[in-house]
Amino acid sequence: MLAELINKPSRLIAGLMSGTSLDGVDVAIVRIEGKGLESKVELVHYGSTVYDDALRERLKELCSVERSDVAQVCGMNFYMGHVLADATKRVVAQSGLGMDDIDLVSSHGQTIWHIPENDPNDEILIRSTLQIGDLSVIAKETGKPVIGDYRTADMAVGGQGAPLVPYSDYILLRHETKGRIAQNIGGIGNCTAIPAGGRPEQVIAFDTGPGNMLIDQAVYTLSNGARSYDAGGEWAAEGTADNGFIEQMMSHPYFKRPPVKTTGRELFGKAYALDWIGRMQSRGLSDADIVATFTAFTARSIAQSYRDFVLPVMDAEEVFVSGGGAHNQTLLRMLGELLRQQRVTTSDELGISGDAKEAVAFAIFANNTLFGIPNNLPSATGAERPAVMGKLAFPF
Ligand SMILES: Nc1ncnc2c1ncn2[C@@H]1O[C@H](COP(=O)(O)OP(=O)(O)OP(=O)(O)O)[C@@H](O)[C@H]1O
Ligand SMILES: CC(=O)N[C@H]1[C@@H]2OC[C@@H](O2)[C@@H](O)[C@@H]1O[C@H](C)C(=O)O
């Protein structure tokens, strides 16, 4: 079965991304010719399915040290396998293709916990990561071979297991004469900075901090569950950002740490957001001011991280924003105001759909796994060496 796939001139791969914002599953159907850094990539169709509020809140509970439990983790691993398989079948059907046309499914899974560095106070809490959504369940339900569980291989060779997308950013965005930064704004923000004509080893990539995570939590809490994100950034546009709070939040030690670095719900999740919402409310900020403050803080944390860790090392002329945050006009405007020397635009301008980009990346990773070609970027994750990430589950 695998030899047949390798010998085809191109492969049709369904890449699945279910990210830290817990908003749902993105599915990209991608045709890939060739392999490795020379892969030729064509997005055939993209679709997403949204988690309902109950599932999203349940996943947040699962990502909570205080409220999670092993039975929930066990059950949700299989349940999410079904959710991911259903999303794949739905998007394939929407595209007008059939599952028979798909060669391979590639699934990121749902991160529920990530420990990028050893815990100095607990010798068992070593670098590790857990993405749920069982691969065998997806294989059974879709009838396709499934590759997933990528991050563990990078961690096994000393990496932080994230960010992984810089490998595919290098394939899709590198430019001979222009320094470029790809900024994804999902739940977390992460950047890939590629110098003009740069080699893979010269890529600087790291998580910049919160993406939409704080904005989403504020919107959900302050609207009493009526809304889960700030559509277009309109609520933030009605408020005034509070610089005092932004400065306080910028003093978080994560922002001072040089790359390689990665973060997630562990640092900027629900508890962190609710704590700052409470402080802002007690100082009399309105709901719109709170959303505006989180939005401005997010933009500031991105721009500041370039000033500290990217621009001293390389010139960057262009910033291409992707991920759901690219739809937040207020966030984009604030970022543009902070980065006067760069042209801030969206990756769609390059023909790379900002909504689909991460799901496309996972299709690219699977294509490499199939050939046994490394698909991590040690300069981004800190791994000691390249590794072939991904595990395979066969259909039945
Ligand atoms: N129209 C919109 N206006 C404003 N924000 C939006 C819009 N659409 C999506 N978003 C934001 O984008 C988020 C989802 O982004 P995305 O799907 O890129 O994240 P993710 O892949 O889950 O996260 P990560 O990349 O961190 O793993 C939503 O939670 C929401 O905050
Ligand atoms: C452990 C984990 O799931 N990390 C995610 C998260 O969401 C964004 C950012 O933090 C990034 O480091 C990573 O995802 C993307 C897809 C990556 O690996 O490039």
Domain CATH for 93: 3.30.420.40
| Per-residue pLDDT tens over the stretch 181-199 | 999 999 999 999 999 999 9
For the segment 351-364, what is each residue's pLDDT rounded down to a tens digit?
Answer: 999 999 999 999 99
pTM above 0.80, yes or no: yes
- Are 111 and 249 in a shared domain? no
| Domain, as residue range, for 262 | 168-350
Quick one: which of 189, 221, 136, 139 has its CA closest to 305?
Answer: 189
pLDDT band at 381 (very low <50, low <70, confident <90, very high): very high
- 2: confidence class by pLDDT, cuts 50, 70, 90: confident
The verdict on 173 and 160 lying in the same domain is no
11 and 102 share a domain? yes
Q: What is the ipTM of this complex?
A: 0.98
pLDDT at 213: 97
Residues 174 and 224 in one domain: yes
Closest atom, ligand 2, to C-alpha of 116: 1
Binding site as annotated, residues for ATP: 19-26
Q: How far is the CA of 20 from the centre of ligand 1 (A)?
A: 9
Q: How many domains does the chain have?
A: 2
Ligand 2 atom 17, closest CA: 163
As a whole number, mean pLDDT of residues 242-254 equals 98
Q: Looking at the structure, do residues 45 and 91 belong to the same domain, yes or no? A: yes
Asked if residue 381 and residue 298 are part of one domain, the reply reads no
pLDDT tens digits for range 259-277? 999 999 999 999 999 999 9
First and final C-alpha spacing in the chain:
12
* Strands 343-346 and 128-132, sheet pairing: unpaired
Average pLDDT over residues 362-388: 97
Ligand 1 centroid–CA 215 distance in Å is 10
Q: Across the beta sheet with 343-346, what order do the strands follow?
A: 204-210, 188-194, 180-185, 318-322, 343-346
Residue 195 contacts by C-beta under 8 Å, 6 or more apart in sequence?
179, 202, 314, 315
- As a whole-number percent, the residues of the chain with pLDDT over 90 amount to 99
Are 152 and 255 found together in one domain? Answer: no
% the chain with pLDDT above 70: 100
pLDDT at 67: 92
| 87 and 11 inside one domain | yes
DSSP string, 302-323: HHHHHHHHTTTTS---EEEEES
- HSE of 25 in the Cβ direction (CA atoms, 13 Å)? 27
198 and 313, same domain (yes or no): yes
Note whether 211 and 330 are same-domain residues: yes
pLDDT at res. 1? 82
Q: In this structure, are 160 and 178 located in the same domain?
A: no
Of the residues 62, 130, 190, which should be mutated to test ligand 2's pocket, given the most ligand atoms within 8 Å of the CB?
190
Considering the domain architecture, whether residues 59 and 90 belong to the same structural domain is answered as: yes
